[in-house]
Amino acid sequence: MVSKYRPSPDQQQDSTFVIPMEEKNRSGGLAWSKVEPESLGPVPKPPILLSDLQQKKKFLRVLAGDREESPPVWIMRQAGRYLPEYRQLRARARSFLEFCYSPALASEAALQPIRRFGFDAAILFSDILTIPDALGRKVHFDEGKGPRLAPLVEEQNWRFDEPTRALQRLAPVYETVERTRAALDPQTALIGFAGGPWTVACYMLQGEGGEKDVARRAAYQRAHEVDVLLVILAETTALHLAQQARMGADCLQIFESWAQGLSTALFTRLVIAPTRHIVARLRALGVSAPVIGFPRAATETQIELYARETGVTALSLDTAAEPASFRNLGLPLQGNLDPQLLVTGGAPLERGVRECLDAFSASPHIFNLGHGITPDASPDNVAHMIRLVRGA
Ligand code: 1CP
């Protein structure tokens, strides 16, 4: 496996980072680094040795390889618009990003689903697009339309702020981690997260969600710049995740929500290499927290490659993935109930939960959805799902 980035020895020692200067971009913006392919050995997998305090968390025991009588449960996007208390809280900030950068509001949003449902893990309330925002690319959330950014592909020279400066802007996020951790009981784990570099790059290149045609074209036509963008994102993301772990996140999840539709050659270059960089960098920084990778809707072969090459601790599977196909990897698996079942409820939900529990029974399993809960889902169905998972 080839990594596109080689940190200098002193960068491995401390958490500061300077993008290697090769040539100044003519506009005086970011200097592109020359990225040399390099063969690396396997990414180190620190043994998961749980302290007495960590042993109390079922979620962490499963990530360490235990199989439990009933799996720990949380759901992607568990804090959010399907909860009336979230909608009420959200109305207290003018913009979505302002909400994300208000530690009191964001930590309250993360705690709401824990109070209501008693999930085994809370997830930091933030967004994957705080990274481009911190790098100096303005991010705007249109009500009901999702995120909007100025598309990079329309610009000649791509400029970003330095990753170290970017991280300073994210200080409120780390305060949110700290506040959330302090309010959780010892049984409940806290998950930190970031977007996968390719997923974040898709929003930056394309300027919005939806089709990823523009982003994929850029990966061919402006290959060097896209590779450097991914290096910058991978490095910033690694530092961002390391800081979340230092402030109290027990586990880190990488959301690669736009991993689908890539040839295996592109998947290796755009998804595996940067993810591998993140995990290797975290380990070099002394962060031993388990990392859950979520390469959503990639092919079976690609997910297997991802599991073997990136050094992730556990795999989150989307609804279409067959747990049996990944059993032999020997990793804890997370997933993968269809989020639509939390809209339908009733017998289909009951059957879905049973089938999901059976399908994952041969692996250490974290019960979750195959993707995020949708705003039209019913909180009553969530409560029912948890009762079914816990056999109550
Ligand atoms: O005003 C609002 O309330 C906006 C809705 C919203 C929320 C609640 C957005 C905008 N982001 C979030 C929070 C969020 N986003 C969390 C923390 C809450 C929790 O999980 O409990 C997390 C983990 C995310 C991660 C995220 N953001 C992903 C990866 C997961 C996934 O769903 O694929 C992605 C792709 C985003 C981008 C994003 N941010 C917001 C929206 C509506 C979107 C998706 C837009 C699209 O589909 O293109």
DSSP string, 11-64: HHHSS---PPPSB--TTSSPPBPPPPPEE--PPP-------HHHHT-HHHHHHT
CA–centroid distance, residue 128 to ligand 1 (Å)? 7
CA–centroid distance, residue 105 to ligand 1 (Å)? 16
Residue with CA closest to ligand 1 atom 13? 127
Whether the predicted pLDDT of 24 surpasses 90: no
User: For residue 245, what are its two tokens?
Assistant: 């772990």
Q: What is the mean pLDDT of the chain?
A: 90
Q: What integer is the mean pLDDT of 301-328? A: 97
What amino acid positions are annotated as catalytic residues?
Answer: 77, 81, 90, 127, 203
Whether the predicted pLDDT of 11 surpasses 60: no
Cβ 363 vs Cβ 327: under 8 Å: yes
Q: Which has the minimum average pLDDT: 23-37, 46-60, 167-181, 273-287?
A: 23-37
Query: Residue 73, SS3?
Result: strand
Say how far apart CA 104 and CA 120 lie, in whole Å: 22
Architecture of the domain whose range is 2-389: Alpha-Beta Barrel (3.20)
What residues have CB less than 8 Å from 85, skipping those under 6 apart?
112, 116
* pTM summary value: 0.92
Nearest CA among 64, 331, 180, 244 for reference residue 56: 64
| Cα distances (Å, whole numbers) of residue 90 to 83, 93, 171 | 11, 6, 20
Q: Which atom of ligand 1 is nearest to the CA of 125?
A: 17
In single-letter form, the type of residue at position 66 comes to D
Q: What is the pLDDT of residues 69-98, one digit of tens each?
A: 999 999 999 999 999 999 999 999 999 999
CA–centroid distance, residue 299 to ligand 1 (Å)? 23
Q: Is the CB of 254 under 6 A from ligand 1?
A: no
Q: What is the pLDDT of residues 208-255, one digit of tens each?
A: 988 899 999 999 999 999 999 999 999 999 999 999 999 999 999 999
Q: Is the CB of 81 under 6 A from ligand 1?
A: yes
Say how far apart CA 289 and CA 287 lie, in whole Å: 6
In the chain, where the domains are located: 2-389
At 45 the pLDDT is: 85
| Cα distances (Å, whole numbers) of residue 138 to 132, 193, 207, 373 | 7, 21, 10, 27
Nearest CA among 79, 97, 224 for reference residue 149: 97
Give the 3-state DSSP-derived string for 180-196, with helices as H, strands as E and coil as C. HHHHCCCCCEEEEEEEC
In a mutational test of the pocket of ligand 1, which residue from 77, 115, 255 has the highest number of ligand atoms less than 8 Å from its CB? 77
Q: Is the CB of 80 under 6 A from ligand 1?
A: yes
Q: Is the CB of 375 under 6 A from ligand 1?
A: no
Q: Is the CB of 128 under 6 A from ligand 1?
A: yes
